[in-house]
Structure 1
Amino acid sequence: MDDKADRIDKTTTNSSSDVGQAEIGNVVSFTEDKIGDRNVITSILSPNGNEVFINSDVDEAMKLALKAKEIELTPEEDKKLVRKIDLCMFPLMCLLYAIQFMDKTTNGNAAVMGLRTDLHMHGTQYSWVGSSFYFGYLGGLFILPPLMQKSKYLIKTLATIVILWGLVLALHAAPSVNYASFIFLRCLLGFLESAITPAFTIITAQYWKQEEQFLRICIWFGFNGFGGVWGSAMAYGLFTKGSTYSIAPWKVLFITTGCITIFVGFLIGIHLPDSPDKAWFLTEREKLLLVQRIRGNQQGFGNHHIKKHQIKEAFIDPRTWLYFLFSFANNIPNGGLTNFMSILFSEDFNYSTKDTLLINMVPAAVEWVGVPLFGYLSYLCFTKKIRFLDSRLVWSFFAIAIVFVGTCMLAFAQKNKHARLGGVFIQYLAPVAFICTLASVSANTIGYTKKWTVSSINLIGYAVGNLVGPRTFDQKPYTGAKIAMVVCYGACLVILAALYVLNYRENIRRDKAAMETKQPEIENIEFADLTDFENPHFRYVL
């Protein structure tokens, strides 16, 4: 370990009176009075055979884990608890994720409602509107995720950010806004919205089991589709009644969506707890049961100290860069379509403005229904123990294969309008595979600092892909953009296959090493804030 705070002299491991180490037979136990110190508890061999020192700078779930020692979680209590968490956490999470998608894509609907004309855009200026959001998003990933990790008030911090981005969104309609200030506001909006996906990825890991996380992420991410339907429906209503407003309908759209965001930001801050141990809807016993149910994740609620050795590990983990490359390739098409979908329907398919706003709801509905469906099929196969199909990576591969076919239809079926239109709709199954990377970061990256770091690097790939995407639409009739999408989805298939092989082979290697190496039995090691490289009991979810 390179971090000075984690450099421990090997000889101190023998002094249990100094380090809070309790010996029970040959079992090493954490002692409650030492939780929060940085003294050595014991050491363990990593899957690579390196000695890893375990100190008292542990996960926040450890305090509850010590109290939950004698509690047994029954299947009935488990079902009741997860149902309660779903009902109390999930509705607002899904609503907020729908709103963030509606907010960032409002400019797409506004573009066909007079935005480009009123701000005197010409040439490639509108494509820079799409890219500017992700310039800000990229900058936010270097500031907001570390800020949220350090904060003990994760939800309060997130709620403040949501309220601020609602204010910024409403300001898009200010009378003084011109092209330059509009670009600045898009950058600022992207900066603030960069907080939500890494925060939701962490929250999902705190409350749900590894095998439950992919379905949950599919559901809250799938609400992007609901946000798309909602935004297009509002835009259609405002456009058809545009003559009754004293300002341009596209400005009313920005003001309306901004006010909705501010309201939901306040709800988030009031309703959602900052961490599971502060959850108002859980009794003290249920909090202990929650620790027991997530024990198999080999991770808990988090640790607010930034650990340099975990950051270093994130950068040398090949999975980090596979996530990055996948998110980059997967989101080049996404960046183009989210900003140019309305224009594509209007100019490439020759729909009127009213018809364009209506038909925009169809691909959004495909995402809203299709993405959770793939998550459910994956979870169903897992519960039924259907080999090979119980893998989220396999279902993600299927989804991208379907999207690849749809992209070929859009790019090459030039004489068949209906085939091209079907190809556009199929594109909106692509988030299934991006969700798989989010779920993999949630379930397969342990060590709280490492998780935040890998999540940020993954989303940098997402931001850069979305930044590049609108630039592929610089030239009409957008043939280059369509071919770029085909190439990107082909690359995604290769990366998903590589990730599956890497995790599968590593699990086999760890199983073999576990049979050959006897490890000390350490109670509550799941909550020691070890990384997946350090924890010999951890196996990667496929």
Structure 2
Amino acid sequence: MAEKMVAEETAIKSGSDLDTVEAAHLTKATYLTKLDLRLIPVLGVTYTILFLDRTNIANARIEGLEADLNMPPNGYSTCIWIFFLPFVLIEIPSNMIMALPRIKPNVFLGVNMLILGVIATCQGLTHSYGGLLAIRFLMGIFEATLPAGAAFLIGEYYIRKEAALRFAYFFTFGVLGPCISGLLAYGIRNMDGVQGKEGWRWIFIIEGIFTIVISFFVFAFVPDFPEKTKILSGAEKEHLLMKLRADKGDQKLDIRSVNWFKVLGDYRIWGPTLMFFCCDMTAASMSAFIPTILTELGWKAARAQVMSIPIWLTGIVAQVFGCWVSGRVGWRFPFVLFGIVLAMVGWIIMNVYSERKGLAAGIRYFALFSMSAGTFIQMAMTTAWMTNNLRGRASTAVGTAIILGLGNCANFVASNVFIKHEAPFYPTGYRTGLGLTIAGAAICIGYVGLLVWHNRKLEKKRIVSGGEDDQNEYRYQY
């Protein structure tokens, strides 16, 4: 009933016919499901594939990648960070291009994914370390357009109370990437010697071909922005647009006359981005080094591939459940803070038990579960939290690009603090991870303070004005 009243109130303000609104309301559950089925699976699978292409180098590493390409001691770390260099630089201009009126999201994202798949396949064909570095750099360029573009499109379709769970679904597909990567690597490694190619080459080739195949689904099924969408009926589309206006206010859709300096300096973007950066240190460390750490805990390569899967599944369950509860209660920061505490427990265990023997291996394995649960609650929640408090297509485009671009800069840190000669204890890596997790807690508390201050200032203004709300003002969600 509450949503019906909101839609009708908005319809009165905009002069729409109430019978049309009522008809759309009766099918609201149906069209929301229609949006979920059309948006989340195809965009989510692109994220799964991206994580496959991004993290399968960790699986290839324990199958002999470094030795076969005669990589230097720091070669693996270089392969990690060189990928993220263009990845970070491209995301903002990419989302700005995608937001232009004549650009169709399905074509833009589909072309980039197709090219990415071809380049990713070439990882399995290169015969030199230099060639692998060049391919990883090119992959970073074309992959940069995809996660931020997908998150941008999702953020445009859902109101604030719906967004957290949808971002959880989206990020869950990402977590499936390394989970599936371990399972695929376990099976593909048995292709060692087929066509004269090593098993690690087949990991890259087969998973690259998956990317090419999925790109055609992107072309076929990714919809346009809400005001141009063709996947809803006329009444459903009208109801969706009114619901978005009622929740977010009138938003500027044309990005060509935007004050970009104001957008780029918005603390509502940078607060969640800094939190995402801190939690991504944990995710990046896990993605790149879980197979290696598991082998150093005593498991052979084949078993290490399989034993990584439950860790990622824990992250999926925690993420979806946490965001579902968050959507029901309407809060974000308590869940982000809880996730930070869980990740912190994992890093503390790693620091305390890294040099101990015996039962310490099992305790460190448990720590990976704590880190996974805590990290992936944070990643979905901070992204939803950011988009909940932004207005206008330009802000959403830039915000999703920054949080998934600069937020991923933690990969630069992770790839350089897990130093090979410090294995298997990695004191520098573990201390850095713990430090950034504690910093994330401080940023979260400070950011909530700013949002509370803003809302209290608006409330005082409302009291002074006699209870009348300024339509240009916007209360932030925390």
Q: TM-score of the superposition, structure 2-length normalised? A: 0.89
Mapped pair 1:461 → 2:410: no
Report how far residue 507 of structure 1 moved.
Answer: 1.4
Could you tell me how far 1:108 is from its partner in structure 2? 0.8
Q: In the alignment, which of 129, 134, 146 is matched to residue 196 of structure 1?
A: 146
Cα distance in 1 for partners of 2:185, 2:431 equals 30
- How do 1:103-502 and structure 2 match up within 5 A? 103-150=53-100, 151-174=102-125, 176-298=126-248, 303-309=253-259, 311-347=260-296, 349-380=297-328, 382=329, 390-414=330-354, 415=356, 416-429=360-373, 430-474=375-419, 475-477=421-423, 478-502=426-450
Shift of 1:210: 0.6
- Post-superposition offset of 1:177: 3.8
Aligned to 2:462: 514
Q: Deviations over 1:501-527 (max 9, x none)?
A: 2112211221221333379999xx7xx
CA shift, 1:107, in A, is 0.6
8 Å contact from structure 2 (residues 279, 340) kept in 1 = no
CA drift at 1:302: 6.4
Aligned-residue RMSD, C-alpha: 2.5
Residue 318 of structure 1 deviates from its aligned partner by 2.6
Whole-Å separation in 2 of the counterparts to 1:130 and 1:115: 14
> Helix, strand or coil: the match of 2:124?
coil
Alignment-mate amino acid for residue 366 of structure 1: T
> Does the 8 A contact of 1:410 with 1:423 survive in 2?
yes
User: Post-superposition shift, 1:360?
Assistant: 1.6
Q: Deviations over 1:134-186 (max 9, x none)?
A: 11211212431222122531221011111111111011122x44111211111
Q: In 2, distance between residues paired with 1:509 and 1:302? A: 24
Residues 300 and 105 of structure 1: CA distance in aligned 2, closer, same or farther (over 3 Å): farther
2:5 corresponding residue in structure 1: none
The residue type paired with residue 361 of structure 1 is I
- State which of 21, 25, 38 in structure 2 corresponds to 1:72: 21
Could you say if the C-alpha distance between residues 237 and 149 of structure 1 is closer, same or farther in structure 2, counting changes exceeding 3 Å?
same
Distance 1:101 1:299 in 2: 35
Letter of the structure 2 residue corresponding to residue 464 of structure 1: C
1:200-220 CA-partner distances (Å, limit 9, x unpaired): 222122221111101110111
8 Å Cα contact 2:316-2:376 kept in structure 1: no
Deviations 1:5-56 (A, max 9, x none): xxxxxxxxxxxxxxxxxxxxxxxxxxxxxxxxxxxxxxxxxxxxxxxxxxxx
Conserved 8 A contact 1:170-1:257: yes
Residue 90 of structure 2 aligns with an amino acid whose one-letter code is G
Distance 2:251 2:41 in 1: 21
- Please give the secondary structure, in 1, of the residue aligned with 2:333: helix
Does the CA-based 8 Å contact 2:182-2:306 persist in structure 1? yes
Moved more, 412-421 or 323-332: 323-332
Deviations 1:47-80 (A, max 9, x none): xxxxxxxxxxxxxxx9xx9684544357543222
Aligned residue in 2 for 1:43: none
> In the TM superposition, what is the alpha-carbon distance from 1:368 to its structure 2 partner?
2.1
The 3 A distance-change label for structure 1 pair 208 and 94 is: same
Shift of 1:484: 1.0
Displacement, 1:441? 2.6
Q: In structure 1, what residue type is equivalent to 2:372? A: Y
1:239–1:203 distance in 2 versus 1, CA, 3 Å: same
* Secondary structure at the counterpart of residue 99 of structure 2: helix
| Residues 1:75 and 1:249: Cα distance change in structure 2 (over 3 Å) | same
TM-aligned CA deviation for residue 541 of structure 1: 1.5
2:261 partner amino acid: K
Kept in 2: contact 1:78–1:293 (CA 8 A): no
Counterparts of 1:364 and 1:333, CA distance in 2: 13
CA 403–520 in structure 1, closer or farther in 2 if over 3 Å, else same:
closer
1:320 Cα shift? 3.0
Change (3 A) 1:340 1:267: same
CA distance in 2, matches of 1:300, 1:104: 38
Structure 2 portions without partners, runs of 5+ = 1-9
Percent identity (aligned): 19
In the alignment, structure 1 segments of 5+ residues that lack a partner are: 1-61, 383-389, 526-534
- CA drift of 1:229 comes to 2.1
Contact 2:224/2:230, CA 8 A, preserved across alignment: no
Instruction: Report if the CA contact (8 A) 1:297-1:443 is conserved.
Output: no
Q: Between Structure 1 and Structure 2, which shows a larger proportion of helix residues?
A: 2
CA offset at residue 295 of structure 1? 2.2
